[in-house]
Amino acid sequence: MKIKRSVVLPLLLGFVFTSCKKNLDETNWDIDALTPVFKTTLNINNLLADSLIQENADNSLKLVYSNRFYNFNVDSLLDVPDTTVRSSFKIPFGSINATPGFQLFNSTSDTKYAAKGAALNKLSIKSGTLTFLIKSKVEEKTDFTYSIPSASKDGIAFTFSTNVPASDGANDGVYKGSFDISGYDFDLTGQYHNTVNAFTTSVQVGINPNGNTVIITPADSIEVFLTFSAIVPSYAKGYFGTQNSSVASTSNFDLFNRIKAGVIGLENTTVTLKLTNGIGVDATAYINSLTSFNSRTNTSVSLVNNIIGAPINVNRALESPYTPSFYYNVMNSNNSNIKALLENLPDKMSYNIDVSINPNGNISNGNDFVFTDKLIDASLEVEMPLSFFATKLRLIDTVEVSLTEQTEHNCINSGSLTLKVDNGFPLEASIQLYLLNDKGSIYDSLLISSLIEAAPVDDNLIVTAKKSSKLVIPLNKVKVDKLFVTKKICIKTIFNTVSNPRYVKIYSDYSMDLKLIANFNYNIQPK
C-alpha cells in the first residue's frame, strides 16, 4: 500500500529521515516535503557600493565618487639622503699635563647638511636615526657632551653625554651610539641665522674626573662621525629649486568593480578633474593623456578634452592658516567624451603627467614649504544620476544555503527547486545559480533559462509594483546529492532594459526578492 501526503519541512524532515531506518508496520510511503534553500534581496548596493550612492529629494539616486589617480612623489621634491658628517677636534695648545676634570674642548660651530636640490632653513623629522661614531687619541677616558642647540623636541634641545674610552697608544678609544630623532625640529639657518642647510652643534670634551693625569700633545685629537639615516621629514621650508618630473603610471578605478560584465549607457554624467596643490610652491602641470581601461574586456578609451596637453597653472598653498590651492575642470558630454570613458566600465586609469615646480624661480624668497602628507594630487570627481540603459549587465551575489546535510537523503526519489522572484527593477533579468563547495569553488550549476520580466512602470518610467515570477528547476539524483553538500550558492543575474536606448532611473526602494524552495519526494520503505 502507498500513501502520498504533502508536509512542510523542517518540522517533519527529522521524522522522514528517521523513518528511513525504521519498520513502520511494513508500510511503504511516498512523502512530498518542502524546505527553503535560501532567501535574499538584491538592490542597487549589489551593483554599486552603498558608500557611493546618495539619495535625492525625490528618492531617486545619484552616484558620487572620487578617484585620486595621481599623487606627487615627495622624494622628487625633497631629497633627504643618508648623510655622514665628519668633525675633527685638535688640541688648541701645546703639550700639557691634563689633570682629571681638565676641559680639552668647548666648541660651537655650524655643520652643513646635504639636502640635494634644496636650500632649507627648517626641517621637521617624522622619523629617523642619528648615529655617533667617536674616535679618541687621548690616552685617558674622556667625558664627551654633544648638543645640537638648533634641534629641539617639545622645546628641549638635543643633547647627550657619554664616556669615550682611552686610546692605548696604538688604537683609538671608540664609542658608537644611535638615537631616535623622530619629532625633532631643525633650524637650518646656522648659529647666526644667515645661511641654509646648516645646524649648530656644540661639543665639550674633558678628562674624566676619576681618571689620571695624562700628557696631551697637539697630535691628540677627537673625531666625530655624525650619520643621519632613514630620515623621513614631516615638514620643510626654504627654496626647493626649479624641478621637473614626469610620471606615466596606472591606478585602480573601483567605481564599477561589482559589475562583472555587460554594457551600460549613461543618460547624463558630470566629471570634474580636480588638481590640488598642498605645497607652498607654484606648479604647472601638463596632462598628456588620461585613459580608462577595462581589463575584463581589454578595451580602453582615452579622454578627449581641451585640457589634454595644455598647461595648467596651479597657485601655491598658503601656510598660515594652511590653505591648499585648487584647480577644477568640469567635463560633460558637451565638451568631452567623458561619458564614453565611463561607459567603458573601467577598473584601471592610466595617465601621463608632467609637473614643473617653481617654474618662475625663487619668487617666494626662500619661503617655499611642504607638509609631506599634503602634496599635489589629481583626481576625478564623478557625479551622475543613476539613470541608464543596460545590456547584459551582470552582477554576482553569494548566499548561504540553509539545507542541513543528512546521510539519509538517498531516500529521495526525485525533486525540484522553485525560484520565486519579485522583481522591483524596471529591468528584465535572467538568473543562473552555481553550487559552491566549502572552499568557495564552483562545482556545478542549476540552469534557469526563463526570462524574469521587468517591473511595470508608469508614464514617468517609475515602477508601480513588483513583478512576480516563478521558475522551476528539475533535479535528478546527482543534483540532489550535490545540493545537500553545498555550502553556498552563487547567484549570477543579468539585467537588460526592456527597450534600448531607454534610460531608466533607479530609486532607493527598488529591489529584487529571491526565494529558492526545494520540493523533495521521499520514499520510505520497511526493512
As a whole-number percent, the residues of the chain with pLDDT over 70 amount to 89
- Looking at the domain assignment, is residue 357 inside a domain? yes
As a whole-number percent, the residues of the chain with pLDDT over 90 amount to 50
Amino acid identity, position 263: V
Name which of 355, 361, 312 is nearest 73 in CA terms.
355
Q: Which of 239, 272, 300 is the last residue of a domain?
A: 239
Predicted pLDDT at 32: 58
- Residue 274: phi and psi, rounded to 5, are -120, 125
Q: Which of 385, 417, 452 is the last residue of a domain?
A: 385
Classify 92 as helix, strand or coil. Answer: coil
Predicted pLDDT at 28: 58
364 and 320 housed in the same domain: yes
Q: Contact, 373 vs 260, CB < 8 A?
A: no
Name which of 190, 193, 240, 246 is nearest 363 in CA terms.
240
380 and 409 housed in the same domain: no
Q: What is the mean pLDDT of residues 417-422?
A: 92
Measured distance CA(399)–CA(402) in Å, rounded: 9
**157 versus 525: which is more confidently predicted?**
157
pLDDT bracket for residue 7 (50, 70, 90): very low
**The pairing of beta strand 28-43 with beta strand 2-8:** parallel
Q: Could you report the per-residue pLDDT of 431-455, keeping only the tens digit for each?
A: 889 998 878 888 888 877 678 999 9
- Looking at the domain assignment, is residue 257 inside a domain? yes
**13 versus 116: which is more confidently predicted?**
116
Number of domains in the chain: 3
pLDDT bracket for residue 262 (50, 70, 90): confident
Q: Could you report the per-residue pLDDT of 312-362, keeping only the tens digit for each?
A: 999 999 999 999 999 999 999 999 999 999 999 999 999 999 999 999 999
Classify 305 as helix, strand or coil. Answer: coil
250 and 119 housed in the same domain: no
- Looking at the domain assignment, is residue 152 inside a domain? yes
36 and 94 housed in the same domain: no
252 and 220 housed in the same domain: no
Measured distance CA(473)–CA(278) in Å, rounded: 60
417 and 480 housed in the same domain: yes
Answer whether residue 409 shows pLDDT above 70.
Answer: no
- Looking at the domain assignment, is residue 315 inside a domain? yes
The domain of 340 spans 61-75+242-385
- Looking at the domain assignment, is residue 509 inside a domain? yes
91 and 189 housed in the same domain: yes
Q: Contact, 292 vs 342, CB < 8 A?
A: yes
CA distances from 373 to 74, 252, 279 (A): 9, 21, 10
Name the average pLDDT for the chain: 86
Answer whether residue 27 shows pLDDT above 70.
Answer: no
- Report the CATH number that the domain containing residue 426 is assigned in CATH: 2.60.120
Predicted pLDDT at 33: 62
219 and 153 housed in the same domain: yes
Classify 46 as helix, strand or coil. Answer: helix
Q: Contact, 254 vs 66, CB < 8 A?
A: no
Classify 76 as helix, strand or coil. Answer: helix
311 and 424 housed in the same domain: no
Q: Which of 358, 385, 412 is the last residue of a domain?
A: 385
CA distances from 161 to 7, 93, 143 (A): 88, 24, 7
Number of helices and strands (H, E) in the chain?
4, 35
Measured distance CA(311)–CA(345) in Å, rounded: 29
518 and 397 housed in the same domain: yes
Classify 408 as helix, strand or coil. Answer: helix
Q: Which three cell numbers stand for residue 289?
A: 593623456
Predicted pLDDT at 16: 44
211 and 108 housed in the same domain: yes
87 and 66 housed in the same domain: no
CA atoms within 13 A on the CB side of 278: 15
- Looking at the domain assignment, is residue 56 inside a domain? no
Amino acid identity, position 343: E
